[in-house]
Chain A
Amino acid sequence: IFVSGISASFILLVLSLVLETQALTPTHHLTTTDVARLQAVLSQPFTDLKSAYYSVVGLSKLGISVADAATCRFIKSNLDPSSVESLFFAAEASQALPGCEIPVSNDTRDLLLATVSEDSTASQIHQSVSALSSLGLPLASQEVVSALKARISKEDNVLTIILALQTASRLSQQAELGEILEEIEDLAARLDDLGGVYLQFEEGLEATALFVSAAYALSDHVDMEPPLKEDQVIQLVNSIFSKKSWDSLSEAFSVASAAESLSNNRFHVPVIVSAQGPAAISHSQPFLRLQVTNVLCKPLSSASVLVESATATSSKSAILSQAPFTLRDGVFELNFMASQPASGYYQFSVAIAGDSRFVANHVELKVKVSTRVSINNMDLSVVDKDQSIGPKTTRVEYPAKAKASFMADSHQIFAMTFQLVDETTGVELTPHQTFVRLHNQKTGQEVVFVAEPDSKNLYKFELDTTERKTEFDSISGTYALYLMVGDATLENPILWNVADVVLKFLDEEAPSTIQAKTLYTPKPEIQHLFREPEKKPPTVVSNAFTALVLSPFLLLLILWFKLGANISNFTLSPSTVLFHIGHAAMLGLMYVYWTHLNMFQTLKYLAIIGSFTFLAGNRMLAQKAVKRYTHLLPVFSRPKCCTVITTKYIMNQQHHYQQSNIEH
C-alpha cells in the first residue's frame, strides 16, 4: 500500500512538472464592456473626499482625465488640514487633476512630517509620505525607511506590507530600499494557489490587486524585475479580473490601479488574445480575426502576430507554418482559406512578439473550417431479391423529388446510393449525420435509418421489407423518403424529400391504429383492501353454547345438595364476615378488570383488597383450626360455598369429649 502510495505521488509530481512547463494563458480578462463598466463605477458622483479620491485617481489610471473645475473646488472645500487622511486624499486627487493646487501651510507640513514615525500605523505613514510627495514637500527618506521597517516587524500582515511597498515607491532612489524590496518575494509566497488557475490572498481581491500595483510601482521605481514568474503573473490576472462587478468604490479603484500597472510597467505585460466572433472560417468568411490587447483592452499595435503552426486535429498534418497576421483597424487577420484547408478543426499555435515584456504570448486556438456540401449521383432503385439483374435506377437531382413513387414488397429490396462532396473542392465528405427517414403520412409513423459509406466514400442504403418489418410494425402504405445530412462543419445542412416509397408487408399483423406510448398517462387506481373482519358464528349458536357451558353449574348445585353440603357451620364472627366481603370484592375486581381496568390498576386494587382479605381470612381460618383442635375433630369449613358437618354432629362430638374429660 505504501509503495503504491509513494509511486502514485511520484507520478503526480512528474505530471505536475510536465503540466507546468506548458505556459498558462489567461482564462479571465476584462472585455471592453467590463472596462466600460469599471469606468462607469468610478464615474459615479462623489459624496465625500474619499470617494472623490477614488474616482479621480481611478479614472486617471484608466487613462481618462477628469478636467473639471468643480471637482477641484469640491476637493478644496472638503479638505480638513488637521487630518492626515484628508490631506492624502486631497493631495493625490489634485495631482491627477491638471491645474489644481492645494494650498499648503507650515502647520500642514509639520503635521505630515510628524506622522512619519514608528508609532504611526503603516497606513498613516503611507498617507503622509504620499501627501508630502504629491504636494512637492521635502521628506527624509531614510527616516521613512526605518519607520516602515519597524512597522513591518511589529505588524506582519499583508496590508501593512503592501502599504509599505507603496510608500517606498514614493521615496528617493538613493534610499536603502533593498529590504523592503525583498518583502515582495515574501509576500508573493503568501499567495494562495487555487487549482493552478488563480493566485490570490485570503484577504481578498482588493488586497491582491493592491499588491500587484504596489509591487510593480516599487519595481519600476528601483528598476529591478519583480520576483514573479510568468505563470504567477497570469494567475494573478485571472484572480483580479475574474470579478466583473465590484462591491465598493475602493475595490473598483484597486482593480483599475492593478490593470494600469499590468499594462504600463517595465517588466511584465500580459497579453490577451481572443478571436473576434467565433473562430470559424468558411468561403464566405475567409479571414481569421484576432484581437491582441493588454489587460485594459487596449490593442497592442507594436506586436507582431505569427502563426507558428496550424495542424488539422484529425490528420495531424501541418497546413501552415510561420505565417504572419496583418494588422487592420486594430485587429490582426489572416486569410486562412487561401491555404485551401479541408473542412474540419485545426489547432493553431500563435505567437505574439514585439516586446520583451510580453507575458503569455503563446496561445493555442481551435479554429473550425466549414464548407458547403452537395449531393451527387443520387440513384434510387428497386431490386428483386432472387435475381440481381438490371435494376431500374432513377437518378434524382437535389432538390427535386422523384416523379414516380417506388413500389417495394416482400420480394424486393429498395436501394439508394449517393455521394457527398464538398461544393467547391469536390473532395468527398463523410459528415457525422447521414440519415434516411421514412415517414408515413397517414399514420404519422416515422422510421429513421443510417446510411453508411463504403470504402470508396459512396453512401449506400438498402431497405429489405421482410427484414425491417418490425420497425414498420408491418404497416403497408406510402412512405415519404427524406435524406438528412448534417455536421458541425457543414454550413448547409440538408433535409431533402427524395421520393415516395410504397411498401407492402406480407402479414398484416399490424394493429389498426397506432397507439402512442402510454408511458405518462395515469395508471389504473389501486384499491386498498382493508383487512376483512373474521367470520363470526351466528348469535344463536353463540347463545346456545353459552347456556350449554353454564349448565354444569346447575349440575354442581344439585350434586352438592344431594351430598348434604350446607353452610350451617357459618359463624358470624367479624373476621369471617370481613373475609367473605373481601373475597367477594376480589371477584368483583376481576370483573371490573375485564371491563375497565388495565393490569397495573388491577394489581394496585388487588394488593389493597388482597391484603385485607388475607388478614381476615387468616384470622378466620386460625379460629377454625383452633376450634378443630379443641374438638379433636377434623372440622373444616369451606367458606367458599357450603360446608359438610352439621351442627348436631359437632354438638354430639363436643358432648362426647366433655364426657370423656369429666370421666378422666
Chain B
Amino acid sequence: MSNSVISVISRFLEEYASSTPNKLKVIDAYLLYIMMTGALQFLYCLLVGTFPFNSFLSGFISCVGSFILAVCLRIQINPQNKGEFLSISPERAFADFLFAHTVLHLVVINFIG
C-alpha cells in the first residue's frame, strides 16, 4: 500500500519537474511560500492565543487572498488553458493580479490595526 503511494508521488514529482514550464514553477514556489506563511501564522494563533484578534485575521486573510489571486494568475497564464481565456492575454492577467492585490492590501492594512 505505502509502496504504491510512494510510487505515485515520485511519478507525480517527475512529471511535474519535466512538463511544467518554468514560469509556472516560479508561481508554484510563490504559492508554497504563501501557504507556509499562513500556516505558521495559524500555528502561532493556536499556541499563544488570539489577542489581538483583528491582526491575526488580517494577516491570515492576506495569506489566503494572495494564495487565491496567485492561483488565478497561474490558471490564466497556463498555455494549456489558452482556449478558455482567449480574451485575456497574460499581460492582462498580470495587470488584474496587481489590481486585485492592491485592493487586498488596502483592506488588510486597514484591518491590521
Once the chains bind, are A556 and B48 in contact (CB under 8 Å)?
no
Once the chains bind, are A618 and B102 in contact (CB under 8 Å)?
no
Once the chains bind, are A549 and B91 in contact (CB under 8 Å)?
no
How would residues 75 to 94 of chain B score, 1 for a CB under 8 Å from any chain A CB and 0 otherwise?
A: 00101000000000111101
Once the chains bind, are A556 and B40 in contact (CB under 8 Å)?
no
Smallest CB gap from B22: residue in A: A644
Once the chains bind, are A563 and B25 in contact (CB under 8 Å)?
yes
Question: Could you say which residues of chain A place their CB within 8 Å of the CB of B37?
Answer: 549, 552-553
In whole angstroms, what is the CA distance A633 to B89 when docked? Answer: 13
Question: Could you say which residues of chain B place their CB within 8 Å of the CB of A541?
Answer: 48
Known interface pairs A552-B37, A590-B106. Does A636 touch B77 (Cβ–Cβ under 8 Å)?
Answer: yes
Can you sample 7 A-B contacts with CB below 8 Å?
A: A537-B48, A552-B33, A553-B33, A559-B32, A563-B22, A563-B26, A610-B102
Once the chains bind, are A549 and B29 in contact (CB under 8 Å)?
no
Question: Could you say which residues of chain B place their CB within 8 Å of the CB of A342?
Answer: none
In whole angstroms, what is the CA distance A553 to B109 when docked? Answer: 20
| Interface flag for B95 (CB, 8 Å) | yes
Residues 20-46 of B at the A interface (beta carbon under 8 Å):
21-23, 25-26, 29-30, 32-33, 36-37, 40-41, 44
The smallest C-beta distance from A283 to any residue of chain B, in angstroms, reads: 92
Once the chains bind, are A622 and B91 in contact (CB under 8 Å)?
yes
In whole angstroms, what is the CA distance A622 to B92 when docked? Answer: 9
The smallest C-beta distance from B56 to any residue of chain A, in angstroms, reads: 11
Known interface pairs A555-B36, A563-B26, A636-B77. Does A535 touch B106 (Cβ–Cβ under 8 Å)?
Answer: no
Known interface pairs A534-B51, A545-B48, A552-B40. Does A559 touch B29 (Cβ–Cβ under 8 Å)?
Answer: yes
Known interface pairs A537-B49, A545-B40, A549-B41. Does A590 touch B105 (Cβ–Cβ under 8 Å)?
Answer: yes
| Interface flag for B68 (CB, 8 Å) | no
The smallest C-beta distance from B6 to any residue of chain A, in angstroms, reads: 23
Smallest CB gap from A624: residue in B: B91
Q: A-contacting residues of B (Cβ < 8 Å)?
A: 21-23, 25-26, 29-30, 32-33, 36-37, 40-41, 44, 48-49, 51, 77, 79, 89-92, 94-95, 98, 102, 105-106, 109-110, 112
Question: Could you say which residues of chain A place their CB within 8 Å of the CB of B77?
Answer: 636
Partner of B23 from the list A559, A621, A625, A636 (CB cut-off 8 Å) is A636
Known interface pairs A549-B41, A563-B22, A563-B25. Does A638 touch B94 (Cβ–Cβ under 8 Å)?
Answer: yes
Question: Could you say which residues of chain B place their CB within 8 Å of the CB of A590?
Answer: 105-106, 109
How would residues 619 to 661 of chain A score, 1 for a CB under 8 Å from any chain B CB and 0 otherwise?
A: 0011011001000001010100010100000000000000000
Q: B-contacting residues of A (Cβ < 8 Å)?
A: 534-537, 541-542, 545, 548-549, 551-553, 555-556, 559-560, 563-565, 583, 586-587, 590, 593-594, 599, 602, 606, 610, 617-618, 621-622, 624-625, 628, 634, 636, 638, 642, 644
The smallest C-beta distance from A609 to any residue of chain B, in angstroms, reads: 10
The smallest C-beta distance from B76 to any residue of chain A, in angstroms, reads: 11
Once the chains bind, are A586 and B36 in contact (CB under 8 Å)?
no
Q: Given A545-B44, A594-B112, A644-B23, list of 15 further CB < 8 A pairs?
A: A535-B51, A545-B40, A545-B48, A552-B33, A559-B33, A560-B29, A563-B22, A564-B22, A565-B26, A593-B109, A610-B102, A621-B92, A636-B90, A638-B94, A644-B21
In whole angstroms, what is the CA distance A587 to B92 when docked? Answer: 21
The smallest C-beta distance from B57 to any residue of chain A, in angstroms, reads: 15
The smallest C-beta distance from B92 to any residue of chain A, in angstroms, reads: 8
Once the chains bind, are B102 and A586 in contact (CB under 8 Å)?
yes
Question: Could you say which residues of chain B place their CB within 8 Å of the CB of A624?
Answer: 91
The smallest C-beta distance from A183 to any residue of chain B, in angstroms, reads: 88
Once the chains bind, are A621 and B25 in contact (CB under 8 Å)?
no
Known interface pairs A536-B51, A549-B44. Does A556 touch B91 (Cβ–Cβ under 8 Å)?
Answer: no
Question: Could you say which residues of chain A place their CB within 8 Å of the CB of B40?
Answer: 545, 548-549, 551-552
Once the chains bind, are A625 and B98 in contact (CB under 8 Å)?
no
Partner of B94 from the list A552, A556, A593, A621 (CB cut-off 8 Å) is A621
Smallest CB gap from A541: residue in B: B48
In whole angstroms, what is the CA distance A549 to B56 when docked? Answer: 12
In whole angstroms, what is the CA distance A599 to B21 when docked? Answer: 41
Question: Could you say which residues of chain A place their CB within 8 Å of the CB of B109?
Answer: 590, 593-594
Known interface pairs A549-B44, A636-B23. Does A556 touch B95 (Cβ–Cβ under 8 Å)?
Answer: no
Partner of A634 from the list B29, B44, B79 (CB cut-off 8 Å) is B79
Question: Could you say which residues of chain B place their CB within 8 Å of the CB of A594?
Answer: 109, 112
The smallest C-beta distance from A633 to any residue of chain B, in angstroms, reads: 11
